[in-house]
Structures are given as C-alpha cells and as structure tokens.
Amino acid sequence: MPSGKIDKPIIQDNRDGTVSVKYDPREEGSHELVVKYNGEPVQGSPFKFHVDSITSGYVTAYGPGLTHGVTGEPANFTISTKGASAGGLTMAVEGPSKADINYHDNKDGTVSVQYLPTAPGEYQVSVRFGDKHIKGSPYFAKITGEGRKRNQISVGSCSEVTMPGDITDDDLRALNASIQAPSGLEEPCFLKRMPTGNIGISFTPREIGEHLVSVKRLGKHINNSPFKVTVCEREVGDAKKVKVSGNGLKEGQTHADNVFSVDTRNAGFGGLSVSIEGPSKAEIQCTDKDDGTLNISYKPTEPGYYIVNLKFADHHVEGSPFTVKVAGEGSNRKREKIQRERDAVPITEIGSQCKLTFKMPGITSFDLAACVTSPSNVTEDAEIQEVEDGLYSVHFVPKELGVHTVSVRYSEMHIPGSPFQFTVGPLRDSGSHLVKAGGSGLERGIVGEAAEFNVWTREAGGGSLAISVEGPSKADIEFKDRKDGSCDVSYKVSEPGEYRVGLKFNDRHIPDSPFKVYISPDAGDAHKLEVQQFPQGNIQADAPYQFMVRKNGAKGELDAKIVAPSGTDDDCFIQVIDGEMYSVRFYPRENGIHAIHVKFNGVHIPDSPFRIKVGKDVADPAAVHASGNGLDDVKTGHKADFIINTCNAGVGTLAVSIDGPSKVAMDCTEVEEGYKVRYTPLLPGEHYITVKYNNMHIVGSPFKVHATGDKLADEGAQETSTVIVETVQKVAKGGKNTGVHLPNFKSDATKVVSKGMGLKKAYMGKQNQFSICATDAGNNILYVGMHGPKGPCEELHVKHAGHNNYNVQYLVRDRGQYVLLIKWGEEHIPGSPFQIDV
C-alpha cells in the first residue's frame, strides 16, 4: 500500500482453472499487487495501479501507454477530466527518442492521447492540469523492441587469402568458389575485392592442413584453379580458447542492458553467434572494444529463465548454453489460446471436382480471378463462386496427378496466402511448414470488431492447430471449420495496441508465425473518409502520383505513408485543397506491390492499406520455381545446391533463408535460367528452406530438407542463415528447352468456326470486326495476322471472351487487297488465309 504496509487480498478458487482476487482498498495512492505461484512471480507481477477516492474530483490517467509500449507503434492512454475542462491540460513525453504526441477530446469527459516512440527504453510521460502534476504523474513507460521469443546475432571473422591473377568486376559476379578441407568437408566460400585490388577469398577454417580452393565460372575451373591454401593450427577457430566473463551470464534484470564480454583474440578465425531464448525476445547489441574483445548486452522485457547459446566457429564456448535467471517487472500481456484437431482431407483423384475456399469480406467479386497450373506447366483459368457473403470458392477439375499451383488474384495482385499448393493424389509430405494463413486479421484490426483470417491446412495432413492471441487485452477467438482443409478464424479484443497472433500445427509454428498485428482504437471518425481518383492502370517507379481523400465532415488529422516491397517506408505529401478534400501525393521508388497506409487520427481509413502495383513486369511469385537435389535429402559436410528459376517472373527481391540446427555457409550465384543457391549443412536434422520473391513465398516454400550424416558442429538453438538478391530480368532462351516448356496442346484446327463481315470486306478508318469460336477445337494458341498492299494493317485487337471464343477488331488505312491469316496452333483454320477487299 502507499503507506508501505502490506495488505492481503482474498483469493478464491473458481474450480474451473481460474482464480479470483478481490481487494477492498483503504488508502489513496499508488499500490503494487504482487502475484506469485509456487514462489515464482507470474508474468507481469508486480502490477501497479493507482487508487483514487470517489469524491476527489481529480484528473486521472489510465491506459497501456503509461506503462509499456513497442517501438514504432503508437502508445495510447486516456485522461479522465471528470467534468473539468480539457483546456488546462498539458502533456509531455521525454525519452530516448523524440515522440510525437496526438490527442483527441472525446467530448465525454475523457481525452485520448497517443504518442509514437521510435527507440526502445524508458519514457517519462507527464500530465499536468493547471501547472500541477496529476496524481501518479510523471509515469514511466517501458518501451521494448518487438516481441518474438528468440533473438540471435552473428559477428564474423574470416580468414582471407589473396588469389593469383586479375579479374574484372563483371567476372566476379559470375564466379563461385568452394573450399575443400583435408577431411573432405566442402563448403561454399566468398570472393571479394581486397583493398589492394586483388581478389580475396574469405572462409572459416575448421581444420589444420592443406585445403583446396576451386573457383569456377559456369561450372568450369578458371586459370590456376584449384589452388592450395595451408591452414596452420593457430588459425583454426577453437571455441575452447574463447574466454567469457561478466555478470550478464549469471543473472539479469528486465528492461536493463545485461552485459558480458567475449575475448576471441587467441581462438583463431571463426564466426561468433549469440542466441537468447526465454519468456521475451531480448534485444541483443554487440560493441567492439579497442583491445579486440567484444561487449555483448541483452535486454529482456519479461522475468524468468533465459538460455544463452554462445558459439564460436559453430562450436559452443566453455559453459554454453548458459542459463540466466532474469528478475524484475514484466510488461503485463494477456494471452488466449484455442486448439482444434484437424482431420486429413480425403485423397483427390484425377477428374474429380476440386475446390479451395477463402474468406475475403468487403470486396467486389468482379475483380477476383483464379488460375491453376498443373505439374506439367499447363495453366488454365479456374472458376470462382461466391458461396455466401464474403466466402468464395475456386473450382477446377485436374487432369494429372501431382502438385498443382492455384493462384488467386484480386485486381491483379495475389491475395494473402496465394499462390497455393494443391496436391492431387496422395500427399507427398505433411507438417506445419505446409500450413498457410492469410487475411486482414493478420495485418490489422480495430478494437471491438472481429478481425478475420483464413487458415489452410489441407496440404499439411491431419494434426492439431493451436491459435493464440497475446497482447494488452484478452481475445475472444472464434473458429469455423469449412470441412475442406480450410477454416476461418476471427478474434475480438477490447484494448488497442500490439498483439501477436501465433499459429502452431502439431506444436510447431507455421511459416511467418507469430504475426504482429496492430489493433487501432475504435475507428472514431476515420470510417467517414473516402478515397477518390485512386490511380489506375500502368504505374511506374520514380514518378509522382496522387489521389484525393474526402473528409465528409470528419474532424482531425490525416497522415499517409507508402511502404515499398523491400519494407522501406516513405511519407506521402498531403495538401489541404479545401475544408472537405485532401490531395495525397506519393512517389514509388521500386517495382512491385506497394502498400499505402492512410490514417486519420492514427486509425486506418476504410480499405487502408491500399495495395498498388508499380511497374509492368512485376515479380510474380507463382512463376518462380525451385528444383534440385539440395531440396531433397542432403548429407552433412557435402555441398548441396538447387536452382531457382525466375524466367518470365519479372524482376524483384529474392530472399532465401535456411532455418536449421546450426548456421550454414551459403551463397547465391546467377545462372542462365535464374539463380543457383549452394549450401553445406553441418548438423543432421530438419532444415527448412524459405524462398520468397518480393516478400511472398513461392510455391512449395518453405521446403523441408532432411540432412543425415555426422555432426560437424555443436547443437544449440535453431539458427537462420539468409541471402538476398535483387534479381534481373530473365527470359527463357528458345530452342534449348530451358525455362518454359510449351504445354502439350491437343487440338483440331478444322473444328474452329469464324464468322463476321470483317472476313469478307473492310472499310478504311473504321473498326472492322469478326469472331472466332474454337470451343470444340481443344486447347491451343490463336495466331491472327494481316498484311496489305503497303505492309501490315494499322492495328489489330484480339479479345478472349471465355471458353475459347475470340472477338477480333482491325483498322486499315490503305485501299486494296489484304491477306488475313488465322491459325489455331500451327495449322490454318478453315478458310484461312482470307482475302479481304478494302
């Protein structure tokens, strides 16, 4: 109690797995409630609260933004003025970063306040009324980095060797190198330009003796390759010689930097990796000291036991993994979880009706389109039906066995979750890495409104799906099984702030889980705003575009930002045109799908964030394929590789990461049909390889690869290695059968029927037309061409009207005789070539 006395509340067991704590306060002021279970504080204990007397008439403040928050996301709290006018209020926030403050008088005796911290640390929030601090002010809010439960950092130190011969920069990109140790262990290594201008090779030495370095261009050794490198004893990284010291490995405090130091000076060359696991994701920082040692600090936000893995050259240093007990206050987050068993879906046969369902409320079905690509690379349109309001199903009839790709696009952009994998016949694999989830409820939400998303478990087989929502308030989760291997989930929360939605299948997180969702306060006036003249059609990078936002009587501030595919964000330029209209100007700088976030008083306006496609040849993840023995079973210590084919997939950012029992050395080089990724696993076990194109998984990603063989490194926490490449345009070369395989068309040109005036005679300067029906003629490509007395005709349009019916229009400028060719595949249709008089 404020007086320092201790008071015991009443604890009642509700006999249903919950306990009620009741308390009758007798003093005014700041109280601390300590809750322990078996002597250990529960998460968030001690809880602080302020007790006020009913009659005091004081101004009070409450809300999460007074105690905790997350960098880069608004922290909210409310001031209750109890009838006093809001005019006398002043607010200030001081801390590690400048925090912009916005507030809104709710006209009901309360004021909503929001500030945006951009750096972690402790912020002092003062609220004054008429020059005097209100009760409890100043408040101290602890702002944490974001919250996944594990964090890792790597610091590399590599041995460098200079290579004979001179090499141009263009060559450097086309070369790849690998090094073979005396024991036969072969790993990729890296080439880089040295300050002297020569080319250096950097690698982590693991053994003493003579190593062979091979440098190849397009699979052939270059001059002088392979050449020999001798590694002596003091160069090999030896984890036993690494010295660690400091209190941070024995005990720690929450919300503080816990420091320890690492001395690798006598331990040879090797990479140092630190990972910390525990009740919260601890922020890790590493600084070099002048004497060649390192200081490492970590900052957890929840009390409890943490495990610190410290590895050097892929082996644990003496004493690792360390267990550290962290004491102090937590950040008081609530968690709700439901679990449902999922049955495996019956096997699909060739020729049967297949369907894939998804829920996407509030869109027009007119802009939805779906297509299915079969294992032999034939793509056909699929039919979309609206089952009930906002629930859609894609229907198709497969003609072959194997993994099909189903792409569902809304106004030409993949919906969340697309492209989907759909297996016809028995499933080849099962497990959490094949579960997909997507929907607006994994991106954003509003207090008190159901946030919805889809989960597709069909490809993962049977198992248990656990859904958890953790954040400032308890979530109400609802689950509806659609009985076809998909389900829809919705949840509602009562407090704004940052939530984490975790999806686990058979106790393993699905790809990209946990999802970070920011739930904004009740929409207020934001729902009144509407967007007009939003840019349509062909949008190019490095050019300005604008749209209008109409206020419709809403009061407040508008702000907008554009988020590029690479994740960088940029402010939009906003101008007030008159009392009702704003113009918002944005300037995309990359190709790909951008999101434009438009917020009013900090709340997304309807349909925000708006997705917009920039550039013509935008990267399509459905057109990227990965193949090769490096995606099947691999052996430790042996180099594995696979090819990512980006032919005809536009340009974009390709990101490959390998999550496995230890870090792997990997590199990515350009080859004719795309990119080749090479890696060497060091520990047996499951490795998950994620391939994303412009931040979207390609089909089949993440791939599960099983490694067998000896252990060449120490086991510790899961570790991730990543490589990112900005791709260049790749087009399949014809004739060499690379890249695109033409589908095997089965067609009969004699069954094509053509009709219309435009096949007999035409008029200058007018649109002449005719139609072609190939419904009964199988599948093929339609070729139409026209040539006249002075060369080709001016323009010719072919429009597919569905089911292989085509409408053709053409325009001619010269008199005389024209020849019109119409072919279905390689063969002329009946009547072709036609002779037309103009």
Pair 230, 209: CB distance under 8 Å: yes
Among the listed residues 10, 119, 112, 21, the one whose alpha carbon sits nearest the alpha carbon of residue 61: 112
Encoded amino acid at 643, one letter = I
β-pairing verdict for 243-245 and 220-221: unpaired
Confidence check: pLDDT of 145 > 60: no
Q: How many CB atoms lie within 10 A of CB 508?
A: 14
Burial group, residue 559, by CB count within 10 angstroms (0-12, 13-18, 19+): middle
Instruction: Tell me what pLDDT residue 738 has.
Output: 45
pLDDT for 154 beyond 60: no
pLDDT (0 to 100) of residue 717 = 66
Classified as helix, coil or strand, 549 is strand
What value does the mean pLDDT of the chain take?
A: 82
Fold of 348-426: Immunoglobulin-like (2.60.40)
* Closest to 590 measured CA to CA, from 540, 654, 541: 541
Are 251 and 324 a contacting pair, CB within 8 Å?
Answer: yes
- Cross-strand bridge partners of residue 545: 586
CA distance 340 to 763: 68
Are the C-beta atoms of residues 617 and 666 closer than 8 Å to each other? no
- Rg (alpha carbons) of the chain, rounded to whole number: 32
Assigned CATH class of 10-144:
mainly beta
Q: Is the pLDDT of residue 630 over 50?
A: yes
Q: Model confidence over 524-555: pLDDT tens digits?
A: 788 888 888 888 877 888 888 889 898 888 88
Q: What is the distance between the terminal CA atoms of the chain, rounded to a whole angstrom?
A: 99
Q: Which CATH class for the 621-727 domain? A: mainly beta
Q: What are 723-763's pLDDT values in tens digits?
A: 787 777 776 654 344 445 667 778 888 999 999 988 888 88
Question: Which single residue is written with the structure tokens 């009985």?
Answer: 483
Peptide bond between residue 375 and the one before it cis (omega within 30 degrees of 0): no
pLDDT at 771: 93
Instruction: Answer left, alpha or beta for residue 629, where phi above 0 means left and psi between -120 and 50 means alpha.
Output: alpha
Could you please report the per-residue DSSP string of 389-414? TTEEEEEE---SSEEEEEEEEETTEE
Among 240, 309, 290, which residue's Cα sits nearest to residue 270?
240
- Closest by Cα among 154, 159, 233, 234 to 200: 159
CATH topology of domain 239-327: Immunoglobulin-like (2.60.40)
How many other CB atoms sit within 10 Å of the CB of residue 402?
13
Contact in structure between 204 and 271 (CB atoms under 8 Å): yes
Average pLDDT of span 148-164: 54
Distance between CA atoms of residues 650 and 406, nearest Å? 19
The confidence score (pLDDT) of residue 147 equals 37
Outline where DSSP puts E strands in 238-333.
Answer: 243-245, 251-253, 258-263, 272-277, 283-288, 294-299, 304-312, 315-316, 322-327
- In tens, the pLDDT along 420-442 reads 989 988 888 888 889 999 988 99
The strand pair at 139-144 and 68-70 is best described as parallel
Percentage with pLDDT > 70 across the chain: 90
Nearest one of 339, 332, 341 to 470, comparing CA atoms: 332
Tokens, residue 453: 């998303």
**What are the tens digits of pLDDT across the range 351-385?**
888 888 998 887 777 888 999 998 888 888 899 98
Q: Which distant-in-sequence residues (6+ apart) come within 8 Å of 44 by Cβ?
A: 329, 330, 331, 332, 333
Query: Using an 8 Å Cβ cutoff, are 125 and 59 in contact?
Result: no
What does the pLDDT look like over 679-705, one tens digit per residue? Answer: 888 888 889 999 988 888 888 888 989
What are the tens digits of pLDDT across the range 595-621?
Answer: 899 888 878 888 788 888 887 656 678
Q: How far apart are CA 800 and CA 784, in angstroms?
A: 13
pLDDT at position 65 is 85
Least confident of 207-211, 411-415, 523-527: 523-527
What pLDDT shows up at residue 802?
84
Q: What is the pLDDT of residue 314?
A: 77
CB 624 within 8 A of CB 698: yes
Q: Give which of 585, 530, 583 is closest to 554, Cα–Cα.
A: 530
Residue 249, SS3? helix
- In eight-state DSSP terms, residue 618 is B
Residue 91: what are its φ and ψ, rounded to 5°?
A: -130, 145
What does CATH list as the number for 749-837? 2.60.40.10
Residue 660 CA: distances (Å) to CA of 149, 276, 282, 532, 824: 17, 16, 21, 48, 51
Q: Which amino acid is at 391?
A: L
Give, in words, the CATH class of 526-614. Answer: mainly beta
Burial class from Cβ neighbours inside 10 Å (0-12, 13-18, 19+) for residue 737 reads exposed
The pLDDT confidence band at residue 148, using thresholds 50, 70 and 90, is very low
- The closest alpha carbon to 408, from 384, 432, 433, 434, belongs to 384
CA 615, chain centre distance (Å): 21
Which residues sit opposite 338 in a β-bridge?
467
For residue 57, the model assigns a pLDDT of 59
- Collapsed DSSP state (helix, strand, coil) of residue 651: strand
Report the pLDDT averaged over residues 153-171: 59
Which residues share a beta bridge with 497?
519
Q: What is the DSSP letter of 485?
A: S
Q: Which fold has domain 334-344+429-522?
A: Immunoglobulin-like (2.60.40)
Ranges of each domain in the chain: 10-144, 153-231, 239-327, 334-344+429-522, 348-426, 526-614, 621-727, 749-837
Question: What is the predicted pLDDT for the residue at 196?
Answer: 66
Predicted confidence (pLDDT) at residue 49 exceeds the cutoff of 60? yes
Distance CA 382, CA 200 (A): 53
Per CATH, 239-327 and 526-614 having the same topology is answered yes
**By mean pLDDT, which of 156-165, 303-312, 599-608, 754-763 is the weakest?**
156-165
Whether the full predicted model's pTM is greater than 0.75, yes or no, is no
CATH number belonging to the domain at 153-231, selected among 2.60.40.10, 2.10.50.10, 2.60.320.10, 3.90.1150.10: 2.60.40.10
Alpha carbon of residue 80 to chain centroid:
39
Q: How far apart are CA 346 and CA 641, in angstroms?
A: 34
